[in-house]
Amino acid sequence: MTTAVPILTPEQVRALPRRAREVVEYRKSGLSLNHIQGCPLDCAYCIRHTYGLWDQRQPRAVLSDEEAVEQLIGHRYFMPHVTPLQLFNRATDPFLPQVKKHTFAVVDNLDHRGLRNHLLIITRYRVTDRDCEQLAATRHLRLTLLFTYSGIEDRRIEPYPSSVAALVMQQLDGVDPEYLWRINARAIRPHLAVILDADPAVVAQRLRDRGPHNRLQKPPSSAHTEWHHYREVCQRVTDAGWTIQRIDCSATTVADVAHLVRQRLQDFETSGTGSGFGVSHERD
């Protein structure tokens, strides 16, 4: 039994708000497992208050990892190899030092069962090369590791330094792009990736007119640098066989862009290609 965080007594569990006691719930078109609850990061936009856990800064376990997995696979909506899953995405961060052991315990448990379900893990904390190696060692689960980055510099809203998350995911901070590709190598490929492009001079003028929204937009060369990275990424995913729709937003209106994307999606619906679409954009 993994015990990297304290496990609550039955009496303490009964004292929790009802929603906090529900460690498996249907969220975001899949089942979410959250038997570890509590986070010290104090992000102002955290949703844990909706579970009555706003003041819970110390991660605690409602169940052991083994018991939690049994509840997950025994849930009435769980279908082996089919149901999308999420882990620790409502009241803690899966890569906090004291939580990480539980994250890997759940991943290993599900993978050793031969389950091929898609598992989404979202973090804004540090992920090491060793962590990536452990995740890459899974044989059956289809893992997606998603890094969140707000760029918000107001510490009343974003107390955890944005630079830490940026070091993980942003080439703008000098992270090796091969590292970024490696940690996303097993992510599910969308049927269509929409990239909203624009002339960097136009984007730069828009930034001057409205002002930067985060530190990455403050350098005068940010628009040109980001445009360059988007072009590199676009070429790489195209070479990898992705279906790309790139829209030049230099002069188009929001309504024009929405019409073009809607038209392309309707083409996919007509052809029966299915769902699973991704949208990326230049900040303007």
| Residues 6+ positions from 255 with CB-CB distance below 8 Å | none
Which segments of the chain have a pLDDT < 70? 1-3, 42-45, 49, 54, 149-177, 179-181, 183-190, 212-217, 271-284
Q: How far apart are CA 109 and CA 81, in angstroms?
A: 14
Return d(Cα 163, Cα 216) in angstroms, integer: 10
Report the distance separating Cα 52 and Cα 49, nearest Å: 5
Strands, sheet with 192-197, edge to edge from the N-terminal-most edge strand: 244-248, 192-197, 277-281
Paired residues of 144 in beta bridges = 120
Relative to beta strand 24-27, strand 30-33 is antiparallel
In tens, the pLDDT along 158-175 reads 555 443 333 334 455 556
Residue 174 has what pLDDT?
59
- State the pLDDT at residue 114: 97
Which of 269, 270, 248 has its CA nearest to residue 260? 248
DSSP symbol at 7: B
162, 149 in Cβ contact below 8 A? Answer: yes
Contact criterion met (CB below 8 Å) for 36 and 72: no
Residue 100: phi and psi, rounded to 5, are -55, -40
Instruction: Give the tens place of pLDDT for each residue, 248-268.
Output: 888 888 888 888 888 888 887
**114 φ/ψ sector (left φ>0, alpha ψ -120 to 50, else beta):** left
Torsion of the alpha carbons at 92, 94, 100 and 105, rounded to the nearest 10 = 110
**Residue whose pair of structure tokens reads 């993978």 in the numeric block:** 111
Question: Do 94 and 101 contact (CB within 8 A), yes or no?
Answer: no
**Confidence (pLDDT) at 70:** 97
Q: Which two tokens stand for residue 162?
A: 């944005």
Residue 195: which H helix or E strand, with range?
strand 192-197
What does the block give as tokens for 203? 């984007």
Of 213, 204, 209, nearest in space to 150 by CA: 213
Question: Using alpha carbons only, what angle is made at residue 75 by residues 73 and 79, rounded to the nearest 5 degrees?
Answer: 60
Q: Where are the beta strands (DSSP E) in 1-97?
A: 24-27, 30-33, 36-37, 60-61, 85-87
Q: Alpha-carbon dihedral of residues 9, 15, 19, 20, nearest 10 degrees?
A: -40
Q: What pTM was estimated for this model as a whole? A: 0.57
DSSP letter string, 29-45: TEEEE--EE--SS--TT
